[in-house]
Structure formats: C-alpha cells, structure tokens
C-alpha cells in the first residue's frame, strides 16, 4: 500500500468516526445556531419559544445542518440519545393547545404541516405515508380520537404518522410501581430523554420534573428497527402548534449525541421562563395606595354620571353560584365589543330561538359566534348553566366548540367558535350561496354522524342534542361538517333513563315518542338525523308548506318514490348527475330507516357509522315500521298553524303509516 493510499484510508476512517460521534449541548440558546420558522423564535434571554398565543399556527426549530445517522444509505441506523428541558404554558389554566414533539426528518419540516392536532408534523395528504421518513416523540395536550389518543395528557412515539406506535399518560417512575402523574400544561419545567439503541433496536422515552434525576425505568419503550425509517442524513429539532386555544411551548436547553449518552444539562445555567401572573405589589405602592385611592375617588366623582350610564348599558346577571364556573363565563362588555355592539352587519342569521352574530374577541383576536337566546325561567337556571359548562368540555373535530355563556337583561348569550363557511342550509335551499357536490355532502353526513356518535356513546355522559338539522350544521374553512347549537342539548349519565323535559325542537325533525313522553333520547336524535339525511340528499326541507301538496312532507314524498323503485329520482337536481348512485341510495334508505315510528327499529349512531363506511350492509327493509305521524307535534312557534293542521289529521296519517308498514312487512315495493 502506498503512503498516499494509507493516508486516504486513515482520513476516511477519521471522517467516519467523527460523523458517528457527533454531539452538542445547549444550556440555553443565546449562542446556539438554530433554524426557526413559523411562530418560533429565540428570545433575548436564551429561550427557544416555539409558539405563542396566536391560534391555529405552527412553529419549528431545527439544528441547521443535517446529521449523519448511517454510514451509508443501506446501512443500519446509529444509536443516539437526546435530552431537553421544556415547559408548556397554556392560555387557560385547564385547557392547552396543542402540544410539541421532538422530531427527526429528512427536511426541516414536511411540506404542508398543519397546526392543531397535527402539531405541525403532517397534513391530511401525507399522514401515514411510508415516504415521510419521520420519527417523532409527541407530548400531546389534546385528545384526538381520529388518531386513537389515550387522553389529553400523554407521551407517544410516532413513526410516519400522528397515530402513536405506543403511548402512555405523562408521568415518571421512581420504582417499578405505578408512575407519578405529570400534567404537561401545568406550566412547570420538565426534562425528557429520548434514546435509541441500535444493537437491541429499542427506543426509550423518559420524563421527569426538571430537578429530578433520570430514572432507570423509562416511561415508555418500543422495539423498532429505525434503519428503514432513518435516511443517511436527517435534521433534528422540535415542532409545536396551536389550535382554537393556544399554549406557549418553550425549550430551555438541549443536548444530543450520536453513539453515546447525550451530555447532562446544567439546570442552574438554563434561562428563566417569563413571569406568569401579576407582579408582587411593591412596598412603595402599598404605602402610597391610600393617597392614590383618594385621588382616584376625587376624579371619579366628576365622572359618576358617565360611569352609571355605562354600567347600566353593560349590566348583566351574575349570582354567587356562577362564580364557580370561572372561564366559561364571558363579560357582556367583552362580547359587546367583539360584535361591535351587535351591529346588523355582524348578524349571521336568526331563527325561532334567537340571533347569531359574528365577533372577534379583543383580547385574543379569536373569531367567535355569539347566539342571543331567550332567558329561561329562574327555576332550573343553575342546572342549565352547569350543563352548558359541562358541554364546553366537549372536544371533537365534528362539533362546534361551545366556549361559554353570558346572562343579561332577560337574554342568555352562548359563545361558539366561528365557522367561516357558514351553515349547511345556506347551500341547500332558496338561492344557495354555493353548490355542494355529492362527495362534499356525503363527507358532511359522515362527519355529523361521527359527532353524534361521540355525544351518544364516547363522552363521559350521554348528550342528547335535540335540534339536529341543516341550519345547525356549520362548515369550517375546509367544508368539514360540525354539529353546533347546543342551547337545547341535555345530558344524563350512561346507563340511566333520561328525565322528562319540555318538548322543544323543530317540526319535521321531532320523533313521535318525544312529543308524547317529553323524554329526549339518543333514539329521538336518530329520528332527527334521519330527517337530516333526507334533506341533504334531496335539497328539501322536511316540511315545506309552499311545496306542491304531494311534496309538503319530505318523508312521505321520498317513501312514495321508494315504493315505485325510483328512489334515485329524489336526488337534489342542483348536483346534476355527478354523484355515486350506491351512496345516494344508502343515505336515502338510511334516512327512511331512522324515521321509523318504533324507536327500537331505528339503528344506533354506532350502527349508522358502520353503514355509512360500508363496513356493514344495510338490512333489508322487510321489518321497518315508518310513520309520518312523527311529524305531529303541538308547538308554540312559527309552525303552530301547520302543527294544528297535522294534529287534526292524526287518524289519516297513522292510516298512511299502517299502509307503509304493511308494504314493508310484505317486502314489496
């Protein structure tokens, strides 16, 4: 071997050794070289701040240069370890959004990474793609059922997708017993370790309070060979995101090493988090407070008339028992300013139960929708408000979040998250603001079904919505269907019977047994959902007094076409011929099935989802028992006259129901 060749071999060996022992340690980021985007920034005192109070945004921070994780593209992945100190400071004490992740990627963030439940890592288009080559450890503070999250406070290991390979509630072990729980959104500083052993192909994640040492027992472990996932060079860093509610995500220190243990961080050298809450009152202020008070009192005397009038303008009902509901109670003044005084130009719509206004909260710039409804009697108001607060904790991608309420001068104001695309009925009736394709309508139907299934079976209590209709289905910016308006909803515990309430709702959607017993159940919701299915597919209201006589009651009209084997002809003509006949027929038959007079014949929302997804075939109609008498109610609202007309023809309608039942029982069309 020549001397030159010998030097070349030595040089290559040293280069490979250097690449396989790469490391760094940052006790704060004052002198660190980081690549940031989105909301992320390096603060003057050395913090790496990934997000702030801005909603629906992402933030990334990466080591600027790629790191060698393999000797060659086909070789095994190197071992590595990393340690970092972080903190999550939520905007609201008990509600965080949306989490952060340590991430290894072939680029500085995959293109199109979305905020909210995607934590800036993936999007609808690339979530789950094997070409992502992404390894992430998530610290998730929101429960996302579509990703099968275990709760809203967990740590998970993710490979190429948001669904974790393994996850556990946030905590740490002192021994091999049950772990001590930790709350990620507590605002407390925490320390995390992520390690990969190439020999055993094991990934370990450990979590602990910042002052506690690294425990021998990791929080979670995963047997996984990263060699096919990790490319020869990868970027490492952090990703975080906010949703409808924001949190500030901080990294205080970070160390990393290839083929070895990452250096421990010096806690005493880490930067301080920003102060949370007001400053302590100084002695000077406490001594001078009496003097200041006298001056303020004198000045306020001259403005007493103005202040009195202003107080009357913004006066609101507030009783001692409401103080316990804290952040769910909005100030009337805040809502008044958000809606610019409830001006007509901010009016989104109105109906029998009130008017809805668009607004922007001055403090957070969050877009909201404020519904002004009639004040219920004083009796029962406490339990009613308690239910509103409970439903404010509902979290599902197909529900419009109920943020809180306010009471003032005979009015109850309900505050929701604003949906920019408006309500579904604006796309179905009259002069629609746009035409929804069948694929969009079918997507909305499945979304509303998913939201109802969550209300009926997946939440901690049973929630009966009581007012399911197209005008209460809102569309977000991506035209996802979200069920809203929980002003009439009622809750009861799983396994118990619902209690009797006043019959409320909309004619055409009310189940017959609800009008008789006054009990709102999940089955009466299914009846309303059946009417909703028919109106979305046909583009017609369940009851339309202005329609031709044979089309006034949508259920009867659709059923007549089913009997003639011409069901497809009832499809909304505004869609043209651009639809899938099998899907349309499924929705129409399911609408008829949900409209059965006998509640026990109606499917549950769990079964409905299986039908819509095609996992289970729709049963034959031989055992159905439909009855348009379900449309007969006695109300005191704008449909009174029509309700009385229908009530006077009960015998005729039930006779029609009997003919329907006999036809179906015989299996004929």
Residues with active-site annotation: 467
Six token digits for residue 260: 């070895």
**At how many degrees (to 10) do helices 640-647 and 650-665 cross?**
70
**DSSP at 193:** E
Are 662 and 555 in contact by the 8 Å Cβ rule? The answer is: no
Distances (CA, A) of 507 to 186, 245, 491, 510, 603: 47, 36, 22, 6, 22
Residue 443 near residue 481, CB atoms below 8 Å: yes
Rounded to whole angstroms, how far apart are CA atoms 503 and 586? 31
Q: Closest by alpha carbon to 137, among 152, 170, 115, 159?
A: 159
CA distances (Å), origin 103, targets 115, 189, 212, 544: 15, 20, 24, 56
Nearest residue to 259 (alpha-carbon basis) of 503, 17, 586: 17
User: How far are the Cα atoms of 6, 124, 197, 475 from residue 481, in angstroms, in the given order?
Assistant: 69, 16, 45, 5
Q: Which residue has the tokens 């790191």?
A: 67
What are the tokens at 353? 């139960």
Residue with tokens 């303008």: 313
Q: Which residue has the tokens 């949906």?
A: 419
Residue holding tokens 């396994």?
Answer: 495
Cα–Cα–Cα angle for 380, 381, 382, nearest 5°? 90
Integer CA distances (angstroms), 583 to 207, 209, 267, 494, 568, in order: 48, 53, 60, 33, 10
Query: What CA–CA distance (Å, rounded) separates 546 from 524?
Result: 27
Whole-angstrom distance, CA of residue 271 vs CA of residue 252: 6
CA distance from start to end of the chain: 92
Q: Angle, nearest 10°, between helix axes 554-563 and 581-594? A: 120
Cα 62 to Cα 35, 53, 128, 535, distances in angstroms: 5, 21, 22, 50
């Amino acid at each position: 071997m020549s001397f030159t060749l010998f030097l070349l071999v030595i040089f290559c060996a040293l280069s490979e050794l250097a690449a396989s022992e790469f490391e760094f340690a940052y006790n704060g980021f004052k002198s660190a070289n980081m690549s940031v985007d989105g909301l992320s920034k390096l603060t003057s005192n050395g913090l790496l701040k990934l997000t702030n109070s801005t909603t629906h945004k992402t933030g990334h921070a990466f080591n600027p240069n790629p790191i060698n994780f393999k000797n060659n593209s086909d070789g095994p992945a190197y071992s590595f370890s990393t340690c970092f100190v972080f903190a999550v400071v939520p905007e609201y004490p008990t509600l965080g959004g949306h989490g952060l992740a340590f991430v290894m990627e072939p680029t500085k963030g995959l293109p199109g990474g979305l905020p909210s439940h995607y934590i800036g890592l993936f999007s609808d288009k690339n979530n789950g793609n094997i070409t992502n080559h992404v390894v992430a450890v998530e610290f998730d503070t929101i429960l996302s059922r579509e990703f099968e999250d275990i709760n809203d406070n967990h740590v998970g290991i993710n490979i190429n997708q948001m669904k974790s390979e393994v996850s556990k509630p946030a905590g740490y072990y002192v021994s091999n017993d049950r772990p001590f729980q930790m709350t990620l959104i507590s605002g407390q500083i925490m320390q995390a370790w992520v390690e990969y052993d190439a020999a055993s192909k094991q990934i370990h994640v450990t979590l602990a309070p910042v002052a506690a040492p690294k425990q021998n027992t990791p929080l979670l472990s995963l047997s996984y060979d990263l060699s096919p996932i990790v490319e020869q060079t990868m970027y490492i860093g952090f990703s975080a995101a906010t949703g409808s509610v924001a949190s500030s995500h901080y990294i205080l220190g970070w160390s990393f090493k290839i083929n070895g243990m990452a250096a421990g961080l010096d806690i005493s050298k880490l930067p301080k988090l920003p102060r949370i809450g007001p400053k302590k009152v100084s002695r000077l202020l406490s001594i001078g407070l009496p003097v200041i008070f006298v001056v303020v009192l004198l000045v306020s005397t001259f403005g007493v008339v103005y202040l009195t009038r202003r107080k009357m303008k913004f006066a609101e009902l507030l009783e001692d028992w409401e103080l316990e509901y804290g952040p769910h109670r909005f100030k009337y003044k805040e809502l008044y300013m958000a809606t610019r005084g409830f001006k007509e130009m901010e009016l989104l719509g109105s109906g029998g139960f009130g008017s809805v206004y668009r607004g922007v909260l001055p403090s957070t710039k969050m877009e909201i929708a404020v519904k002004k409804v009639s004040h219920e009697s004083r009796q029962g108001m406490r339990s009613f408000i308690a239910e509103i607060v409970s439903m404010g904790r509902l979290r599902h991608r197909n529900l419009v979040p109920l943020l809180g309420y306010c009471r003032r001068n005979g009015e109850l104001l309900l505050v929701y998250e604003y949906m920019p695309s408006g309500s579904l009925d604006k796309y179905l009736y009259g002069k629609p603001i746009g035409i929804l394709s069948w694929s969009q309508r079918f997507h909305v139907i499945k979304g509303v079904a998913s939201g109802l299934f969550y209300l009926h079976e997946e939440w901690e209590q049973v929630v009966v919505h009581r007012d399911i209709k197209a005008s209460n289905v809102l569309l977000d910016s991506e035209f996802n269907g979200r069920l809203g308006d929980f002003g009439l909803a009622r809750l009861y515990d799983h396994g118990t019977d619902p209690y009797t309430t006043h019959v409320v709702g909309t004619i055409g959607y009310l189940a017959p047994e609800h009008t008789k017993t006054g009990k709102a159940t999940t089955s009466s919701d299914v009846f309303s959902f059946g009417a909703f299915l028919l109106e979305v597919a046909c583009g017609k209201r369940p009851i339309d007094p202005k329609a031709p006589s044979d089309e006034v009651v949508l259920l009867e009209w659709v059923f007549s076409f089913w009997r003639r084997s011409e069901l497809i002809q009832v499809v909304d003509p505004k869609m043209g011929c651009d639809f899938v006949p099998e899907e349309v027929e499924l929705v129409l038959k399911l609408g008829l099935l949900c409209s059965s007079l006998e509640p026990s014949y109606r499917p549950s929302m769990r079964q409905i989802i299986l039908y819509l997804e095609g996992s289970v075939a729709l049963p034959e109609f031989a055992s159905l028992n439909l009855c348009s008498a379900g449309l007969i109610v006695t109300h005191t609202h704008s449909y009174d006259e029509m309700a009385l007309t229908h009530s006077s023809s009960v015998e005729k309608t039930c006779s029609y129901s009997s003919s329907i039942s006999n036809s179906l029982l015989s299996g004929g069309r």
